Structure 1
Amino acid sequence: MNQVPDIQKLLLKFVKNDCTSQEIATIIKYVKQTKGTDNLPNFNEVMQLFEEIPDIEPKRAQTMYQNILKTAKHEKRRSSTRRIWRYAAAAVVVGIMASTYFFRDRVLNNDIIAPSATIVRHNIHPGTDKATLTLETGETISLEKNTSIQTQNATSNGEQIIYNNSTSRELVYNHLTIPRGGQFQLSLADGTRVWLNSETQLKYPVSFTDGESRQVELMYGEAYFEVSHSSKHKGAKFKVIHNQQEIEVLGTEFNVKAYKHESNIYTTLVEGKVALNYQNKTQNLIPGQQSNINVLTNTLTVSTVNVKTEVSWKDGIFSFKEKSLKEIMASLSRWYDVNVVFENKSLEKVQFNGVLRKHQNIEDIMSVIMSSSLDNYEIIDKTIFLK
């Protein structure tokens, strides 16, 4: 079978999540046409290959695996296919559970047909490490990758800014602003580490007062905090202030998402404990819980979430679990610094599950997300039109 070596290469690329949408289509077409279901490994055998993959959903994976078996049912046996089928089944499971994509109830039931894309011209690139530092004097400094900066209180290599480990009686504040298409890391004077997502601004003191509450203000956007424990600072608690809520911690890891023009504020606790104050009420969170404040209805709800999915952005990954296209495109618009227009409004509610790398080019991202639900999309300059 002359095509076996090429298919093997594609399947190995698939496992590593390096395939283009066209290569994905070739793989699925081959899987559906290959004969010899008796040569397929059983589901348990496939699962054993990927024991260390996090967030495996065996029940759903097994359902999709059975779909692969059904597509080849009643075909004539060919003994030479065992190795290829093993890779194919493994690739499908990896794709479903780890780092590929599928729209609910629509993957592997039909042939993959890439959407019709009209790409007139564009200058769209993945985001990079960049920020603007505003000093207490009002002076601004651009921070960019591969550019070293040093101030009286901090140093930066263009990927993060690190403040001197110092205390002071007088609080002097800096602002760090992350633009659309950017991200940055920050180490505060107390050793607290902060990851800042696109379109975010944080206000913080360049040093803290020894023994007194350590306080920063998330003006808007999304930030992940890894807080230096209060036991290292004479019991001083750490607070994150936002105009709608206040979070108080002793030492913990949590994520706050509070973008401008969005009606929900999400706080997700990864480790430790936090006390969230909202409208003179206190809500305690435990690891794995997420609070959701709806600023339109003035309500607060708490639910259990997959924290890895919620905070994967800081590790260079888009992880979407039952997210609507409206939510997904909002994330992409910030990271790629693009505008998004839903010409077909019904697409806003379509849900997607999957994991994508943040440094993929925009065409690959769009092909992956849209391949099962969109007849056409168009990219003109820095605007994506969904049709």
Structure 2
Amino acid sequence: MDSNESRLRYLMDRCLSKQETLAERNELYSYFLETKEDDNLSEELLNAFYKEKEIVDVAPEKQEQILSAIKSLESPRPSVTPMYWKWTSIAAVFIAVLVSIFWKVTQEEVTSKIKFVAKKEIVNDSLTEPYPKVISDHTPAKDVAILELADGQKFELEKLKLRESIENKGVIIERSGEDTLRVYAASNNSRFTKQIHTIKTPRGGTFKIVLNDGTIVHLNSDSKLSFPAVFDTNERRVSFEGEAYFDVARDSSRQFVVSSHIGFKNQEIRVYGTAFNLSAYPDDENIKTTLVEGSVKIKELLAGSEVLLKPSELAVLDENGLAMGIANLEMDLAWRNNLFYFENVPFEAVLRQIGRWYDVDIVYENEFQTNPLWGQMSRRKKLSEVLEILEKTSQLKFEIRGKEVRVMK
């Protein structure tokens, strides 16, 4: 290793640990202004991030940005050329290292004018904010849901006090936890037990329900679960639309059946006791079932095809039929860990998730093409913070206007 490489590595380590002096920071900037240092710079940036180091002294929001950059480098991207991926990697790491400066510039400047931006920041460190003025903002999804009983009566569940229960025509509704509902029959009168009730989470809402058999269903935003107060003696059947994590109580004598019908896509999941994630939104292109533990049998009802899943496998039902694959549990279960997590996800699909989570409508000002998105970020951020991050990873601009997010090239 020559002296220049050694010095560059030293400066990178100092910056990543937030121990650099002003002179060292300016010296590091100077490397980005010299084209002859490109090869050394790219190598040292990647080496610095693969090197194990403590980041506990970095502010939480900076940790998340750095970890997102690292995550984006872990998996191969077969769809891009080596040269493109090389510079994409360098740009991602560069943004994370110099986050306090470069998160003030637009994506066009970051990707195509890195050297110019670095020089501009050294000369003038009081640049104005280029992002659109936030006319309004939106907070992350909250624990809100509506229970609609078979007779049409509706209850806003967030208004129920903790441990409060209500009896309505033989059905007991109890808020057993901050985000948890229990619904069960007050008696075995089949007049009430056979009735089908529905819990709905709006866009911008999540909730959890404990069914009569002990099965727990965690509902993501904009989801709907229909169920009886008491299950039949031969099977436990529910219908579902949206996204949810099912933790099915084991009952060897009665299968638990989840039916989902989206357009021409119609499937049933049959289990005795297991845990799986089901995504079946009407505006998505497919129904995806991700198995976490146990086993599930999935049947496509129109063609009659079936698959049996093992843990860490998934089934996707689209216009081509039912197919199996290896699941990406980290991505498919990210919403349960309050994360947005994307690996090669189309930008439009990313914005659909954001629209559901923050209860906003996505409005496209014009047509454009974008690259798929890689990375992760917290779902606990405000909408404006999430959009600000997306602006830095795309060539798009966002503007919040009431319940609309306008997307511009």
* TM-score (normalizing by structure 2): 0.68
Give the alignment partner of residue 316 of structure 2, picking from 292, 296, 299: 292
Pair 1:237-2:258 in alignment? no
Residues 1:92 and 1:377: Cα distance change in structure 2 (over 3 Å) = closer
| 1:119 corresponds to | 133
Residue 107 (1) aligns with residue 92 (2): yes
Larger radius of gyration: 2
Query: In terms of mean alpha carbon deviation, does 332-341 or 166-175 score higher?
Result: 166-175
Matches within 5 A, 1:204-223: 204-210=227-233, 212-218=234-240, 220-223=241-244
Q: Are residues 1:309 and 2:327 paired?
A: no
Secondary structure of the residue aligned to 1:229 is coil
2:180 is equivalent to residue 154 of structure 1: no
Code of the aligned partner of 1:147: K
**Whole-Å Cα distance in 1 between the matches of residues 291 and 42 of structure 2?**
32
| RCO comparison, higher one (Cα < 8 Å, 6+) | 1
For residues 356 and 83 of structure 1, what CA distance do their matches in structure 2 show?
20
Q: Equivalents in 2 of 1:91, 1:209: separation in Å?
A: 47
Partner of 2:143: 129
The secondary structure found in structure 2 opposite 1:108 is: helix
Which residue, out of 55, 61, 67, partners 1:94? 67
- List alignment gaps of at least 5 residues for structure 1: 1-7, 14-25, 36-62, 72-81
Report matched runs for 1:167-316 at 5 Å: 168=188, 170-210=193-233, 212-218=234-240, 220-231=241-252, 235-243=253-261, 244-278=266-300, 279=302, 280-294=304-318, 297-316=319-338
Match of 2:388 in 1: 367
Question: Which moved further from structure 2: 257-266 or 270-279?
Answer: 257-266
Distance in structure 2 (CA, Å) of the matches to 1:386 and 1:141: 36
Shift of 1:314: 2.1
Q: Could you say if the C-alpha distance between residues 313 and 29 of structure 1 is closer, same or farther in structure 2, counting changes exceeding 3 Å?
A: farther
Matched pairs, number: 322
Q: For the structure 1 residues 352 and 259, does the alpha-carbon distance in structure 2 shift closer, same or farther, using more than 3 Å as the test?
A: same
Counting aligned pairs with the same residue, the percent is 26
Instruction: Summarize the Cα distance change of 1:92–1:198 in structure 2 as closer, same or farther, 3 Å threshold.
Output: closer
Q: Distance in 2 between matches of 1:122 and 1:311?
A: 30
- Flag the 1:137–1:304 CA change in 2: closer, same or farther, 3 A: same
Equivalent AA in structure 2 for residue 228 of structure 1: A
Code of the residue aligned with 2:181 in structure 1: it is I
| Residues in 2 aligned to 1:139 and 1:290: alpha-carbon distance in whole angstroms | 37
- Amino acid in structure 2 at the alignment position of 1:162: R
- Aligned equivalent of 1:352: 373
| CA–CA distance in structure 2, aligned partners of residues 90 and 333 of structure 1 | 26
Residues 224 and 29 from structure 1, CA distance in 2 versus in 1: closer, same or farther, beyond 3 angstroms?
farther
The reply on whether 1:67 has 2:45 as its aligned counterpart is yes
Q: Give 1:92 shift.
A: 7.7
**Map of 1:57 onto structure 2:** none
- CA apart distance, 1:30: 7.1
Map Cα deviations across residues 219-259 of structure 1 (whole Å, 9 max, x no partner): x211110000123xxx1111001121000001111111111
Contact residue 316 and residue 323 of structure 2 kept, 8 A: yes
Give the 3 Å change call, closer, same or farther, for CA 145–313 of structure 1 in structure 2.
farther
SS of 1:119's equivalent? Answer: coil
CA RMSD of aligned residues (A): 4.0
State the secondary structure of the residue aligned to 2:135. strand
Unaligned runs of 5+ in 2: 1-12, 32-40, 75-84, 107-129
Paired with 1:305 and 1:65, the residues of 2 have a C-alpha distance of 32
Measured after TM superposition, the shift of residue 33 of structure 1 is 3.7
Residue 145 of structure 1: how far off its partner (Å): 6.8
Counterpart CA distance in 2 for 1:381 and 1:355 is 26
C-alpha distance 365-299 of structure 1, shift in aligned 2 (>3 A): same
Q: TM-score, normalised by structure 1?
A: 0.72
Q: Note the alpha carbon deviations across 1:96-145, whole angstroms, 9 max, x for none.
A: 346999x9544135773533321251142221000000112211000117
Equivalent residues of 2:64, 2:377 under 8 A apart: no
